[in-house]
Chains A and B, each alone.
Chain A
Amino acid sequence: MNISVSAMGNIKEFIPDEMQLELETPVSLSELKVIAGIPKERNVSFVVNGRVQKGGYTVSDHDDVKFLMLVGAG
């Protein structure tokens, strides 16, 4: 299964450029975040093929996953 992953904002610290991941089994977005090298404690949100998804979503072959930062102060 080939997944394309990229990041926006400060998550680019972990994924500077778009990259391809080859997965042997389907994983959730929360699991993919760790596989992609983003620390577990880092708050992120997920966009798959342009649509917002929650962490429990299971990725499919050829999905385009983008990690967005999640920040809440004001």
Chain B
Amino acid sequence: MERYARHQELIGAAGQTALAKARVLVIGTGGLGSPTLFALAAAGVGTLGIVDDDVVEISNLNRQLLHSDAFINQPKTDSAKQTIGRFNPDIQLKTYSQRFDADLAEQIVPEYDMLVDCVDNYATRIAANACAVKYNKTLIEGGIEGMSGFVQIVIPGKTACFNCFGVEDNEIYRQVLGASTGIIGNLQALECIKQLTGIWDGSYSYIAVDFRQCSMERMFLEPNDDCGCKK
């Protein structure tokens, strides 16, 4: 347990046990998924599921710290498993080299406690949100574009879900700085750890980050009355 000594006073032995027993599914191993997976593995989350259907490309390497030149054209899940496996060999890793959709969700989501959505498109965000609501799983959503990012804590029936916004599969502006994906991904991991260890105070569920102004704001989002997430 010496590995976790520097955060044990913050979360206590019970918190560390909760992390060790936790099963977290991380969807996407790119700019957001890389720091998220490193941080969750570092904290000692016992089982990490890793979903990604992409292969590593050279243009990924400005921000996707899980991957490297040696893995170009290899499945990102292979790269992620090797990198995280070396980083913390005490945790269990399960990889799924396919697109996250309703069929895959039905097979794997029930076995996880929490989902962290680190994808780069609205269609998969909508699918992840739908299965979080369906299986009553807490979802930590995150996104980034240009010099802006957000993190949203979705607790079905309690906080607004991603569908509450009525988001459609909009065009995405894909310019991102690697350093800023690190901030949002780590923030997603932090909120996941706070949920798992019971130290989230419930006062907020949405965090907006403006990297240009170096500002962070938060608020609690009540669910949309017309959304199916509010049971």
- Please report A residues at the B interface, Cβ cutoff 8 Å: 8-10, 12, 43, 45-47, 50-55, 66, 68-74
Contact = CB atoms under 8 A, between A and B. Distances in A.
A35 to B, nearest CB: 20
A8 B208 contact: yes
Given A52-B164, A69-B148, A74 B170 contact: no
A74 B210 contact: no
Interface string B108-125: 000000000011111001
A52 B224 contact: yes
23 contacts: A8-B206, A8-B219, A9-B150, A50-B221, A51-B222, A51-B223, A52-B221, A53-B224, A54-B165, A54-B224, A69-B208, A70-B170, A71-B150, A72-B122, A72-B125, A72-B172, A73-B174, A74-B28, A74-B33, A74-B119, A74-B120, A74-B121, A74-B142
Nearest to B160: A52
Interface string B149-180: 11000000000100011110010111010000
A71 B172 CA distance: 7
Contacts, number: 98
- DSSP class of A's interface residues: helix, strand, loop or mixed? mixed
Contacts of A46: 165
B167 A70 contact: yes
Contacts of B167: 45, 70
A10 B180 CA distance: 14
B120 A72 contact: yes
A73 B224 contact: no
A8 B212 contact: no
Nearest to B63: A74
A48 B143 CA distance: 22
Shortest 5 CB-CB distances between A and B: which pairs? A9-B208, A74-B120, A54-B166, A71-B145, A51-B222
A26 B221 CA distance: 24
Contacts of B164: 52
B147 A10 contact: yes
Interface string B42-77: 000000000000000000000000000000000000
Nearest to A10: B148
Most buried by B among A50, A70, A72: A72
A72 B170 contact: yes
B217 interface: yes
Given A9-B150, A9-B217, A71-B150, 7 more contacts: A47-B219, A50-B220, A51-B224, A52-B164, A70-B143, A71-B148, A72-B125
Nearest to A51: B222
A9 B148 contact: yes
B88 to A, nearest CB: 23
B143 A71 contact: yes
B165 A71 contact: no
A73 B143 CA distance: 6
